[in-house]
Amino acid sequence: MAGIIECVPNVSEGRRLDVIDGLAQVIGATPGVRLLDRTSDPDHNRSVFTFAGDPEAVERAALALVDATYAVVDMRGHAGEHPRLGAVDVVPFVPLAGVTMDECVAIAHRVGEAVAAKHNVPVFFYAKAAKRPERVRLPDIRKPEYEGLAELMETTHVPDAGPPILHPSAGAIVVGARPPLIAFNIELDTADLKLAQRIAKEIRESSGGLPAVQAKGFRLSDPPRAQVSMNLLDHTVTSLPRVWREVESRATAAGVRILRGELIGLLPLDAALAVTAEALQLDGFTRHRVIESRFLE
């Protein structure tokens, strides 16, 4: 079996559907790559693409997406709820089968160096591809956002590749390698941003909450509502049912009900099965009890 890796780039465009369609076509047109999912949100003004294939093909598709995005997204006019540093905000590479994490780290470094050389864009490496310990966590790199990054580029945010000058239209880019994560949001039946922010602070690991969980509170529109947005860095450490219970209990205590959950991109099969096992109280339930899984083996 040939090696397979996944790439999940986040692009700072979630409103112009024609632009998003065009970027998806760029990915899909790359031989050896399959576009698995695309998710866009106008409030966050952000799109997440998920594609996979053999390592060389995925690397080509990632670079083609960067080229295409820089031609149509200008950060000088960008606004949205989600933190971001650039037109292509983050590009993670994820080993799926027959590929090591070290190989994905090498791909991340090649892609970052290529973007810096071709587009004169500052590049930061994160997660397993980080070149310094303070850049392992994506939120730590992205904290100043596009608007505040320029003044820090000769101090705390000297780029790992490319010039120490913010590109006016493209901004900066973060490239890395990591295990699969789950991007999961919970919308609350309230427009109370402070409640969402308080819940996010209480459940995220960096504030002493759930291990392997990143969380942030946002306000969404049409209709107005608050959202607890999360990244589960390791669902075997903290599961989807666990974060749901923690958010729900805090919302209920504040007299607020949950409207819905939202999955951004894809999730591992075992994470979905954990939800089923808990909901049905199935003891010892694994993927070996799923018909399709047995055939795929």
Contact 84, 46 (CB under 8 A): yes
Is there a single domain that holds both residue 12 and residue 69? yes
Is there a single domain that holds both residue 247 and residue 119? no
The pLDDT score that the predictor gives to residue 297 is: 66
Task: Return all residues near 73 (Cβ < 8 A) that are at least 6 apart.
Answer: 11, 12, 13, 19, 87, 88, 169, 170
CATH number of the domain within which 259 lies? 3.30.70.670
Q: Is residue 293 part of a domain?
A: no
Decide the pairing of beta strands 4-7 and 88-97: antiparallel
The pLDDT score that the predictor gives to residue 293 is: 83
Domain-ending residue, one of 177, 202, 236: 177
**Percent above pLDDT 90 for the chain:** 93
The pLDDT score that the predictor gives to residue 41 is: 95
Q: What is d(CA 245, CA 182) in angstroms, rounded to the nearest whole number?
A: 16
Q: Is residue 277 part of a domain?
A: no
Q: Average pLDDT across each block of 10 residues of the chain; the chain has 297 residues. List them in order.
A: 90 98 98 97 97 97 98 97 97 96 98 98 98 96 97 96 97 97 97 98 97 97 96 95 97 98 93 92 89 79
Q: What is d(CA 20, CA 87) in angstroms, rounded to the nearest whole number?
A: 12
The pLDDT score that the predictor gives to residue 292 is: 83
Decide the pairing of beta strands 88-97 and 46-53: unpaired
Nearest to 67 by CA among 105, 17, 29: 29
> What's the pTM?
0.92
Q: Is residue 271 part of a domain?
A: no
Counting every residue written for the chain, the total comes to 297
The pLDDT score that the predictor gives to residue 94 is: 97
Is there a single domain that holds both residue 70 and residue 172? yes
Contact 223, 231 (CB under 8 A): no
Residue 110 lies in domain: 4-177
Nearest to 5 by CA among 52, 56, 61: 52
Q: Is residue 163 part of a domain?
A: yes
Is there a single domain that holds both residue 135 and residue 12? yes
The pLDDT score that the predictor gives to residue 112 is: 98
Domain count, the chain: 2
The pLDDT score that the predictor gives to residue 284 is: 86
Is there a single domain that holds both residue 23 and residue 165? yes
User: Could you give the angle at which helices 240-253 and 193-203 cross, rounded to 10 degrees?
Assistant: 140
Is there a single domain that holds both residue 110 and residue 198? no
CATH number of the domain within which 119 lies? 3.30.990.10
CB atoms within 10 A of CB 117: 12
Is there a single domain that holds both residue 64 and residue 129? yes
| Catalytic annotation, residues | 82
Contact 184, 108 (CB under 8 A): no
Is there a single domain that holds both residue 20 and residue 111? yes
Is there a single domain that holds both residue 173 and residue 186? no
Q: Is residue 83 part of a domain?
A: yes
CA dihedral 186, 218, 234, 65 (to 10 degrees): 110
Is there a single domain that holds both residue 136 and residue 98? yes
CA dihedral 90, 94, 99, 100 (to 10 degrees): 80
Domain-ending residue, one of 177, 205, 226: 177
Q: Is residue 242 part of a domain?
A: yes
The pLDDT score that the predictor gives to residue 67 is: 98
Q: Is residue 32 part of a domain?
A: yes
Q: What is the DSSP letter of 167?
A: B
Domain-ending residue, one of 177, 193, 218: 177
Is there a single domain that holds both residue 186 and residue 163? no
Q: What is d(CA 4, CA 74) in angstroms, rounded to the nearest whole number?
A: 32
Distances (CA, A) of 168 to 11, 86, 207, 247, 281: 16, 9, 34, 39, 54
Q: Is residue 285 part of a domain?
A: no
Is there a single domain that holds both residue 87 and residue 190? no
